[in-house]
Homo-oligomer: A and B are copies of this chain.
């Protein structure tokens, strides 16, 4: 396998892993969104914050390794932040 193929391989794998981890957080957010009428698990914000922190450290690590571009990493987090604030808004209006 060519060196360039190998880098792409690592880069593809890194962004696939990050997307999958982001997807897991999105699912957590959706579960909360779908169950707004239920008493909110008090720790769900804590859980989401911890997961977001974990993902941000993975993204930072991947960027430092040169496996993803900083702006792509930021885009992943920004999208999740938008979902989080939509969830927060919805839970306030409940």
Contacts and interface: CB of A to CB of B under 8 A. Distances in A.
A7 interface: yes
A55 B58 CA distance: 9
9 contacts: A2-B3, A3-B5, A10-B67, A13-B65, A54-B54, A55-B57, A57-B57, A58-B61, A61-B61
A53 B58 CA distance: 11
A6 to B, nearest CB: 4
A1 interface: yes
Interface in A1-45: 1-3, 5-7, 10, 13-14, 17
A13 B7 CA distance: 13
A74 interface: no
